[in-house]
């Protein structure tokens, strides 16, 4: 039994390395990496839904997730099913108030190749 331990260890490591979703919290569809100098909030939807909605240009943050500069956090993607393209609306957060800053689009392939991570580099 012990002779198979290295094989099992390598298999487990490969799953975590090649499938980023293996390390996502339950219920999260992806993660956002904030590489800006400001706190952000993200709202993500599948690409088809993005064509149908009108986003709020600003709002007060109450219990929504705020991602500090240099941090990474899990996020949900409304209407998303694995294999779909996504759109991420990024908000700048200051003193409990979120203001729309930019929109990022990710192809299904790119999103999956990046370990289900969207990186925000500028606002």
Instruction: With beta carbons less than 8 A apart as the criterion, state whether 117 and 24 touch.
Output: no
What strands, in cross-sheet order, belong to the sheet with 72-75? 72-75, 30-34, 117-120
pLDDT digits (tens, 9 = 90+) for 5-44: 443 333 443 333 334 445 666 767 899 999 999 999 999 9
pLDDT digits over 58-117, tens only?
Answer: 999 977 789 999 999 999 999 888 899 999 999 999 999 999 999 999 999 999 999 999
Residues 6+ apart with CB under 8 A from 64: 41, 98
Q: How far is CA 48 from the centre of its chain?
A: 17
Give the model's pLDDT for residue 25: 65
pLDDT attached to residue 10: 38
State the pLDDT at residue 27. 64
For residues 82 and 67, what is the distance between their CA atoms, to the nearest angstrom? Answer: 24
């Amino acid at each position: 039994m012990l002779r198979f331990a290295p094989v099992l260890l390598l298999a487990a490591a490969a799953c975590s390395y090649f499938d980023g979703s293996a390390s996502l919290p339950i219920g999260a569809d992806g993660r956002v990496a904030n590489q800006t100098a400001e706190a952000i909030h993200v709202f993500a939807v599948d690409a088809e839904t993005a064509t149908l909605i009108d986003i709020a240009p600003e709002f007060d943050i109450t219990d929504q997730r705020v991602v500090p500069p240099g941090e990474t956090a899990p996020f949900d993607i409304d209407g998303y099913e694995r294999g779909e393209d996504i759109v991420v609306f990024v908000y700048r957060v200051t003193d409990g108030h979120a203001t729309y800053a930019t929109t990022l689009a990710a192809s299904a392939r790119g999103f999956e190749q990046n370990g289900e991570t969207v990186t925000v580099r500028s606002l």
